[in-house]
Structure formats: structure tokens, C-alpha cells
Structure 1
């Protein structure tokens, strides 16, 4: 019985050992095949990298020669090179290379060469691939498509771009807004008519930077945007008014003094001060008690530029404001428009903080 059990155990051990060795052998073969495959793949990647690096260098040279030839007014009757590039676009890898070369050169050229690049971009049909990106479900693809269409100033696609003005992603909205300004100039500001989303301060800086490249004689009437329901549109419009000195917007600026948004009211006061529209003074004095602390400081700075002797009564009435900054400005205005009242105040004031300011002004400015 014992011998019989030992026999069966020996057979089981033999079978198990055989199976294990077969597995080891199979894994070894698999690993060997995998190593060979990886070596081949790595070599192929290296070969492809060298091949595409050579292709990129040659293609860049072709594009540069083409652009300069067109810029010098040379007729290119034999367009074999351009047709070759056109056919290369069917290859996704080559298309990426050509696009990257265009983007690289776009940063390096200027003047007429930029226009030539835009023309060649469309002649090759690269803009069609960017328009396809606008139908993508990926927001980053849409943003890249909009960026390239803007950089190469592709026109006639405003309707396609307009649907991204209020896109949920800020990056897509930004590129859509920049497209309208970068390609259409001041005419592109019409996108503000339909803007319902926020317009960040950084976006406004970029858009204003684009606008500065164009002739402001082409600027449309912006008064309607100063009445927009979107506070961000109003703030951006106020920045345009400031940058391009649009003094014809006086009536709209005066109306904004009653806007519910404090930031807009402050910006309006600053612009009215910049343009020295004295009509704002009576409005602000009348509504002074309702102004916020920040508005009051901006108003006093405004008053400092346009105050007359007739304002002495108002100044003396509010000379004891809690704000230290307001007290300093009020005293500076008073001494400049009515030294007699200033001296009387100096002699009769029992306010310690006010007396310190008077002493400071007298010592430092010789009042």
C-alpha cells in the first residue's frame, strides 16, 4: 500500500515539474520575442525620427524660400513644391510637422511675410483641418483650431467662430474673442453684442493689446456697450474709452455714476476725472452721502483737479471725514482754492488728527 501511494506521488510531482518547466520555457520564449520586438520598434522610431527631422528641415527651407520669393514679387509658375506639400498634408505626422513649422515661422516673421503666410496657409488647405477641429468634442482641439485660424487670419468663418463666444471653457472663449479682434480689428468688437459670460481682466488686456495694432479711426460707436446688461462688457468698454480717449462717451459715463456695480461707478468717475468733465462734480456732490468709501476717495482726487473757490463750503463740511486720505486731499484742495479759509481752520481747529495733517502740509509744502 505504501509503495502504491509513493508511486502516485512521484507521478504527480513529475507532471507538476514538467508543467512548471514548460511555463518557464514559454515565458522565456515570449520575453525573447518581446525583447526582439522592442529592439526593432526602437530602431524604427529612431529611423522615423531621423527621417522626419530631415523632412522638417527641408520643408522649413521650402516654406522660407517660397515666402521670400512671393514677398519679392517673383512669379512661381512651377508650383511642384507647393503641390508636394499639399499631398503631404494627407499624412497626419507630416501635417503636424508642417503646422508646427508654420507656427514657428509665424513668430519669426513680420510685415508682408505674415500676409504671405496666411495666403499660403489657405492655399495649402491647412485652414480646412483647423475648421474640422471646431467640430471636435474636445475643448483643447477647438481652442487650438481657433488659435491657428486667428494667427493666419483666416476670414469668412465668423459664423462658425461665433458659437464659441459663450463656451463653458474659458480657454475656448478667449480664443474666440481673440479671433474676432485679431482678424477683424475694431469690427470684431460686435461679438460683445452677444457676450453673456465673464471677461477676465487678463482677457481684456489681451484684447486691448490686439486693438492697439489697428487704426482707431475705424472704431465703431461703443455707447451701446456702455449700456450692456453684462457688467464685464461695460468694464471692457470703459477700458477702450480710457485707452483710446473716447471723449464722445460723456453722456454714457455720467449715466454710469448711478450703476449698481461699484467697480463700474469708480471706473466712470476716474474717466470723468481724466477727461475733466466738470458736469460730474455737481452730480457726485449731490449724491455724496451715498458714495462708498472707495468712491469718495476717487471723487476727492477728481475734485482736486477741478475744484473752485465755490467748493469751499462743501470741503469744510466734509473736512472731518473718518478717512485719513480724504482729510489730506480735502486740506490740499482747500489751501489751493481758499487760503483764507485754510488759515482760519488752522487757527480754530480742535481736531488733533486734522491739526497733525495741517502741520505736516505746512512743514513739507510750505503752506
Structure 2
């Protein structure tokens, strides 16, 4: 040992430094390997536990729903004390409830929603909604939506959340749980909706909401421009002809995108007096509106009305010029 120490002491400083780095590197490699082994063992144990928790939840849910001899009151208390004593177990049970809810309808679906509350998992979700991270809150709102838990007061603040995913889930919640007037949450919105959010609302009304079709005209005077545009678009898509008189004034709205959507809605609703209202203002319109007027002529007018506008199109209005040429070609073909 003394001989080895003597040899090392005789090494030049650069060799000593290299030897130190080699030792440190070896120690680091050993620590990394040990950590990976530990994490693998931990992950395997966690997966085994999760499978066990899942099987317990499945057994309980099957008995609750299909076993007539099941002592519901006592079994509920036993399951809560033994199998819902950690957040992980609650999350796994909640996930199984969502799977059952998705696959069972009618009376079975009612039972699933009932057991969710009897296990007090609704309180667990409410706590996540209040104290969880933003992505946990988005997931919590989704759970409330799917299980039709009507607590709009708790969800309403998240309509204006910072994160888009949370806002989308809050919107979905109100549309999913509504039995009528599904857009009532509009009154709580404070910022303009994104294009994706507007598409999300439209799809939810068509495919998630199951109640009576709302009267979209009640939102025409909303303070948010995007909601006004959305309402005009929905009036057209749901063929609410009775609302034509209510959207005509928006032909003269100060926002060009509102005017554009109004023109589109009216010609798709076959409002015959549209052209006499919009053609005279063509020269002074924004480019985005000019293109829509040309499309309106294609839908409701004649080629001579189209040709009258040709001299009013500037060479710089490339979009309008392209629309004009396409419509002119369609007139020629037809």
C-alpha cells in the first residue's frame, strides 16, 4: 500500500488529474446503473400494484352492478377503507368507472354514476379541481362531464383559464351536461374564442349535446366579436330562417369579418334581397368582404351583375381577383 502511494505521489499532476476523473466517472457510471435498476424494480412493483388495484375495482363494480346478493352499504364502506386509501387507488378506480360508463348505457349507466358518488370520488375530483395542476384540472373537468355531475359553479371559472386545454374541457362540460340552452356559458366568457375553440363548440353542439337546438340569435349582441360571428354561422348551419331579419343589420357592422359571415349566411339561406344591399357598397369594402360578395352573386345572381364589378377590382386585390375569375368560370360552365 505504501509502495502504491509512493508511486502515485511520484506521478505528474496531469496524470493525477486524469486518474481522479477516471475514478469519478466510474463512480458516476455505478450510480447510474444502480438508479436504473432501482427505477426498473420500482416501476415493476408499481405496475403489479396497479393491476391488483384495477382487479379489485373491477370485481367491486361487477358485483355492485350485477350481483343481487351484494350488500351494497357494507361493501361500499369496506371498499373505501381498504381500496381507496391512497390517491393512486382512487385514480385507478375512477379510470375503471369511466371505462364502465363508456361501455354501458341505460340503467347500468345510472348505476355507474351512482357508485361514483357513493364512493365519494366526486369529492376527490372536486379537490383536484381546486388544488391540482392545470392538466389535472382539465382531466377532472372531463370526468365531471362524462359522469354528468352538475356543478356549474365549480367549473365556470375555468372558462377563462390560462391554459387552452382547461378552457376546452370547461366548454365541453357545459355542452355535455346541458339539457337545454347549451350556450348559457357564453355569458361568463371574457376573452375572444380561438378558431379551435369555435370548432370545438360547433362539434360539441352537433355530437355531444343531446337537447333541443338552441336559438342562436340570443347571442348576436354578445360583447365578444367571435361569439357574434359564431352565432351568425350557426343560424345558417341550422337553417334558422326565422332569424334572417335579426342578422340583416350585421351587413353594416363595423367589423369586416362580421359583415363577411353575415353575407355568407344570408346567401346560403337564400335571402333574395341580399345582392341589392351589398353590391352598391362593393367598391368601398374590405378585400375579405369583396370576395364574399362575389360568391353571393354566384349563389343568387347573374353573370352580368358579376361583370359590373370587374372594373372595381384593384390589381392589388389578388384574393378578390382570384375569386372573381373562379366565379366567372363557373358561370361560363353552367
TM-score, length-scaled by structure 2 = 0.75
Name the counterpart of 1:196: 190
Q: Is the 8 A contact 2:178 2:211 kept in 1?
A: no
Q: 1:208 aligns with which of 194, 202, 207?
A: 202
Q: 2:139 aligns with which of 129, 144, 147?
A: 144
Q: Is the 8 A contact 1:181 1:188 kept in 2?
A: yes
Name the counterpart of 2:90: 95
Q: Is 1:241 the equivalent of 2:229? A: no
CA distance, structure 2, for counterparts of residue 259 and residue 111 of structure 1: 48
Q: Is 1:105 the equivalent of 2:78? A: no
Q: 2:58 aligns with which of 47, 57, 60?
A: 60
Q: Is the 8 A contact 1:319 1:330 kept in 2?
A: no
Cα deviation, 1:140-198, whole Å, max 9, x if unaligned, reads 2322221211121101x211211222122222211111111111144331110121223
Query: May I ask how many residue pairs the two structures share in their alignment?
Result: 300
CA distance, structure 2, for counterparts of residue 36 and residue 324 of structure 1: 67
Where does 1:152-167 land on structure 2 (aligned, <5 Å)?
152-155=147-150, 157-167=151-161
Cα gap change, 1:55 to 1:138, in 2 (>3 Å): closer
* Other structure's SS at 1:270 match: helix
Name the counterpart of 1:259: 253
Q: Is the 8 A contact 1:139 1:169 kept in 2?
A: yes
CA distance, structure 1, for counterparts of residue 62 and residue 286 of structure 2: 60
Q: Is 1:293 the equivalent of 2:287? A: yes
Give the C-alpha shift of residue 275 in structure 1: 0.7
**Highest CA radius of gyration, 1 or 2?**
1
* Other structure's SS at 2:192 match: coil
CA distance, structure 1, for counterparts of residue 257 and residue 294 of structure 2: 17
Larger relative contact order (CA 8 Å, sep ≥ 6): 2
Structure 1: unaligned runs, 5 residues or longer: 1-9, 18-34, 334-360
Structure 2: unaligned runs, 5 residues or longer: 10-32, 314-320
Name the counterpart of 1:281: 275
Q: Is 1:133 the equivalent of 2:128? A: yes
Instruction: Compute the RMSD of aligned alpha carbons.
Output: 3.6
Give the C-alpha shift of residue 328 in structure 1: 5.5
Q: Is the 8 A contact 2:252 2:259 kept in 1?
A: yes
Name the counterpart of 2:316: none
* Other structure's SS at 1:153 match: coil
